[in-house]
Structure 1
Amino acid sequence: MSKALFDTIRDIKGSPLTQADVDAVNAALSGTPGRVVSKAGLALIKSFEGLSLKAYPDPATGGEPITIGYGHTGGVKLGTVWTQAQADNALADDVSRFANGVAKLIGDAPTTQGQYDAMVSLSYNVGLGNFGSSTLLKKHKAGDHAGAAAEFARWNKAAGKIMAGLTRRRAAEAAMYRGEA
């Protein structure tokens, strides 16, 4: 069904669809219209996830989860090698999934683009389940944006260890959330 739908939209538009067009249609179909990660949000995710075309073990545990591409996990085995196109496609799919999940979790709470992008980046890294039960989300939905921004710093550990990279990422996400990035 979706191929036919996108073909029809492409015909109506009279030109190829951009990734933003596809994301907007997917958001509308999922009941979360208007919630699309910006270029700055995507750049933040890519900058901290990095790119590896060869699967590698989690740096904190030395094991699971096995990761490839731009932080893609799930069904990945050591020794797997991807092309750039596979990494780009997985990133688009993963970001869309997390963006839709965050949009559903924040509901109709007033949210700036920077706040949304920062929360998508956080959930991309810690998972929607963890984000969904977080104090950060509760504070955001309650309108306590200063309190929510302060919560990012709490998510700087992996396997119980403070990680310098996560500390830097959380500072960047908090700055984006506050509208400083």
Structure 2
Amino acid sequence: MPRHVTDAVRAKLEQFEGLRLAAYHDAVGVLTIGYGHTGSDVRPGLTIDRARADQLLRQDLAAAEAAVGRLVKVPLTDNQFGALVSFAFNVGVGAFQGSTLLRKLNAGNYDAVPGELAKWNKGTVNGKKVAIPGLTNRRAAEAGIWAAGAQVSSNYVAAVPAPAGSLLAKPETLAGGVSVVGAVAGAAGNGGPMAWALAAAVVLAVAVGAFYFVKRLRESAS
């Protein structure tokens, strides 16, 4: 049975991509339409309706879902699966397949995923690789989705605990992350995508900082 992202993750992906019914050039100059759809069928001046945009999204999303399901060899919770589908949808299946992120994850290194996601925030503009704010925010939000998936189940996917010793498996890590998200979003006045992107970035920073703090403690004790 093909695995699909949850409705909540799909809603976040639609928010990340935004809906444009007329063809436009994205931040790196690629012709795009609908919810981030690209390809030879997108041409200058093309317009579509909402139903066609939804159809294209279903097609593109199905390809990303199938790729994650095929290429990832370790168990994933719904949110972990959704975060990777969003990532593959955005960077392309080929890039995901050849990524260090996938290699580390398949080796069982779940904790490497947020940091690897953060590396994919650049695009080629005028022949140079530059950090793109929208991609930086998206990678942080995807890391937040990933971290929120440590203990999630659906009607057909059993909850899979993060590996023993993983920071994501620790209740105090997740509780702290949730409180940080709430505090940042509240301070931002529930200001929409940017507020939640900022919140996710803070969660990522806390998780990465905690990882290296624990690592130093273990090294000093050995």
Normalising TM by the smaller chain, what interval? 0.7 to 0.9
Instruction: Give yes or no for the alignment of 1:81 onto 2:47.
Output: yes
Task: Pick from 4, 10, 15 the counterpart of residue 47 of structure 1.
Answer: 15
CA distance in 2, matches of 1:146, 1:97: 26
Are the counterparts in 2 of residues 55 and 76 from structure 1 also a CA contact under 8 Å?
yes
> Structure 1 stretches of 5 or more lacking a match?
1-27
Q: Which of the residues 136, 158, 161 maps onto 1:167?
A: 136
Runs in 1 of length 4+ with deviation above 3 angstroms? none
2:110 is the counterpart of 1:145: yes
Paired with 2:50 and 2:75, the residues of 1 have a C-alpha distance of 36
By how many angstroms is 1:39 displaced? Answer: 1.1
Give 3-state SS (helix, strand or coil) of 2:33's partner: strand
CA distance in 1, matches of 2:67, 2:120: 19
> What whole-Å deviation, never above 9, does each CA across 1:88-110 have from its counterpart, x for those lacking one?
11111110111011110113x11
CA distance in 2, matches of 1:99, 1:40: 15
Aligned equivalent of 1:176, options 120, 145, 153: 145
AA aligned opposite 2:132: M
The alignment status of 1:120 with 2:89, answered yes or no, reads no
Q: How many pairs does the alignment contain?
A: 145
- Normalised TM-score (structure 1): 0.76
Distance in 1 of aligned mates of 2:61 and 2:131:
25
CA distance in 2, matches of 1:140, 1:115: 11
Shift of residue 60 of structure 1?
2.2
Q: Distance in 2 between matches of 1:114 and 1:173?
A: 9
| Match of residue 93 from structure 1 | 59
* 1:143 Cα deviation after fit: 1.6
Q: Larger Rg: 1 or 2? A: 2
Q: Deviation digits for residues 72-122 of structure 1, max 9, x if unmatched?
A: 011200100000000011111110111011110113x11111111000000
- Amino acid aligned to 1:54: A
Is residue 2:104 matched to residue 1:104? Answer: no
Unpaired stretches in structure 2, ≥5 consecutive residues: 149-177, 179-199, 201-222
Aligned-pair distance for 1:49?
Answer: 0.4
Identical-pair percentage: 43
